[in-house]
């Protein structure tokens, strides 16, 4: 098969993996030494680093052949798709050619499982090894590792990659056993724990440079992905699993990927994908867990196991806990300010800095470019109390709902039923 045809097939097959962010990578530069590329430039997948840099990654599968038969995967063993396979040398050649033409700044490489997990992992590592050692490539490399591979191979992958990831795919052991029978949640978490240990050893070297025993280099972080809507897991269950991964395994990111129906689907899969907004709400809830001090039980619990699709999770929480509002922006603690809908981490820091010199009024908050419509019912300022806006009003929720949209009718088809209209509106929200 021609190389360009392989590239078309295997780049398209890699599009379902969302966990290709490059944040956390240490900057490497080839200036003043031999080598090709760096992670600090400006630049086919786009990712953003914490300092705002946008980097472009060549996102590929080494092969879409696979001995596993995961029901939700288009590349599963029983799937009737066009197959292709790169050699490690071909991936190296494509990566270097694309980099030298300024198309990319790094490589995201995953693979279907061929022959065995260890054999596949060896081939993936061979690509990274050739790039780093034979071609002195300084660009970004993200390797997707296989939990069933031996710990020694995963450790070796971490030496060549800036970041590695293992996809957990589904949040519960029950769902994994039903939809991905060759995979095992406990085995995946064991692999994550091993990676976590190696990352901690790497950063311990920076904290204690006087230590005579230097560990080998290792990736700066790990990430994972969970599929949303392929099983009956609730948002509470998904967020609880994500919280466990963040706290117990120190993952940098958990990515949420809405289930996408595939050709010739299994009867175990849903017919329709989940609303795209559900994936968006999970990312917002994930942000609240990581940066705003929320607990999973506050965002989604047994009474409300799924997130409100019409409102963002923080606003939905505030409407359910109106007894905690209004909050005085001139007196409240940082933790209390972070709970106010419409206030982000940066704006909270600005408020804390500004109120050291003056009592804040609404005009001051406007200058901080806050979302005044959202925050007004929940705050007290020097010249404002929310009594007239009705914090206790039953219509407060209605005030924040998006306006209804006119549906487009196709006159060549029968008129939509009431159920169709409700389903469409739900999807838009």
pLDDT tens-digit map of 379-388 = 999 999 886 5
What is the average per-residue pLDDT within 298-322? 92
Looking at residues 157-175, what average pLDDT do you find? 91
- Percentage of the chain modeled with pLDDT above 70: 81
Identify which of 116-130, 363-377, 399-413 has the greatest average pLDDT.
Answer: 116-130
CA 294 → CA 239, 247, 317, 334, 335, distances in Å?
11, 13, 10, 13, 10
Query: What pLDDT was estimated at residue 428?
Result: 38
pLDDT at position 401, please? 84
For the chain, give percent helix, strand, coil, nearest 5: 40, 10, 45
Q: Which two tokens stand for residue 75?
A: 């590349």
pLDDT of residue 396: 84
Band of pLDDT at residue 193, cut at 50, 70 and 90 = very high
For the chain, the domains span 3-299, 313-400
Cα dihedral sign for 144, 14, 36, 4? Answer: positive
214: pLDDT strictly greater than 70: no
What average pLDDT does this structure show over 217-240?
A: 92
Burial class (CB in 10 A: 0-12, 13-18, 19+), 410: exposed
pLDDT at residue 203, as a whole number: 78
- For the segment 256-283, what is each residue's pLDDT rounded down to a tens digit? 999 988 888 888 999 889 999 999 999 9
| Per-residue pLDDT, 357 | 93
pLDDT at 54: 63
pLDDT at 10 over 70: yes
Q: If you search the block for the tokens 């990581």, which residue do you land on?
A: 290
* Residue 212: Cβ within 10 Å count: 4
**Whole-angstrom distance, CA of residue 168 vs CA of residue 265:** 21
Residue 31 has a pLDDT of: 44
pLDDT for 53:
57
Q: pLDDT tens digits for 117-162?
A: 999 999 999 999 999 999 999 888 999 999 899 999 999 999 999 8
Q: 329-342: per-residue pLDDT in tens?
A: 999 999 999 999 99
Q: Provide mean pLDDT across the span 335-354.
A: 95
Judged by average pLDDT, the poorest of 182-191, 215-224, 243-252 is: 215-224
Mean pLDDT score of the chain = 84
Give the percent of the chain with pLDDT over 90.
56
Q: Give the number of other Cβ atoms within 10 Å of residue 43's Cβ.
A: 15
d(CA 170, CA 172): 6
The candidate with the shortest Cα–Cα distance to 380, out of 337, 330, 333, is: 330
Domain made up of 3-299: CATH architecture: Alpha-Beta Barrel (3.20)
Is a pLDDT exceeding 50 seen at residue 19? yes
pLDDT tier, 422 (very low <50, low <70, confident <90, very high otherwise) = very low
pLDDT of residue 303: 87
Q: Of the ranges 135-139, 211-215, 345-349, which one carries the lowest mean pLDDT score?
A: 211-215
Query: What phi and psi, each to the nearest 5 degrees, are found at residue 59?
Result: -110, 115
Q: What is the mean pLDDT of residues 101-113?
A: 90
The answer to whether residue 292 scores a pLDDT higher than 50 is yes
Residue 389 has pLDDT above 80, yes or no: no
Q: Is the pLDDT of residue 58 over 60?
A: yes
CA distance 347 to 44: 33
């Amino acid at each position: 098969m021609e190389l360009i045809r392989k590239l078309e097939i295997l780049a398209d097959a890699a599009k379902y993996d969302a966990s290709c962010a490059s944040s956390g990578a240490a900057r490497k530069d080839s200036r003043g030494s031999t080598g090709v590329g760096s992670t600090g430039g400006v630049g086919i997948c786009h990712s953003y680093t914490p300092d705002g840099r946008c980097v472009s990654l060549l996102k590929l599968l080494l092969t879409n052949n696979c001995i596993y038969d995961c029901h939700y995967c288009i590349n599963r063993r029983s799937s009737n798709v066009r197959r292709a396979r790169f050699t490690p040398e071909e991936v190296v050649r494509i990566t270097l050619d694309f980099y030298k033409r300024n198309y990319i700044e790094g490589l995201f490489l995953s693979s279907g499982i061929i022959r065995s997990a260890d054999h596949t992992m060896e081939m993936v590592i061979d690509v990274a090894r050739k790039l780093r050692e034979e071609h002195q490539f300084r660009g970004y490399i993200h390797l997707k590792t296989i939990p069933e591979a031996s710990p020694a191979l995963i450790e070796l992958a971490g030496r060549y990659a800036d970041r590695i990831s293992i996809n957990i795919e589904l949040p519960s052991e029950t769902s994994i056993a039903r939809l991905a029978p060759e995979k095992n949640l406990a085995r995946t978490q064991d692999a994550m724990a091993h990676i976590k240990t190696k990352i901690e050893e790497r950063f311990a070297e920076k904290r204690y440079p006087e230590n005579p025993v230097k560990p080998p280099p290792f990736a700066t972080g790990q990430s994972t992905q969970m599929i949303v809507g392929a099983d009956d897991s609730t948002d509470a269950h998904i967020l609880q699993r994500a919280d466990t991964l963040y706290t117990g395994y120190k993952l940098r990111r958990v990515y949420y990927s809405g289930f996408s129906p595939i050709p010739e689907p299994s009867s175990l899969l849903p017919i329709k994908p989940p609303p795209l907004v559900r994936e968006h709400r999970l990312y917002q809830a994930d942000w609240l867990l990581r940066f705003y001090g929320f607990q999973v039980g506050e965002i989604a619990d047994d009474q409300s196991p799924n997130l409100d699709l019409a409102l963002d999770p923080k606003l939905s929480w505030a409407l359910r806990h109106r007894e905690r509002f209004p909050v005085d922006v001139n007196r409240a603690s940082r933790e209390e300010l972070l709970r106010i809908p419409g206030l982000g981490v940066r704006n909270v820091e600005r408020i804390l800095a500004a109120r050291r010199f003056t009592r804040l009024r609404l005009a001051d908050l406007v200058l901080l470019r806050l979302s005044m419509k959202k925050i007004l019912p929940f705050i007290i300022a020097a010249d404002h109390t929310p009594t007239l806006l009705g914090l206790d009003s039953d219509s407060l929720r209605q005030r924040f709902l998006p306006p209804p949209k006119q549906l487009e009718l196709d006159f060549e088809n029968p008129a939509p039923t009431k159920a169709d209209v409700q389903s469409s509106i739900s999807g838009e929200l």
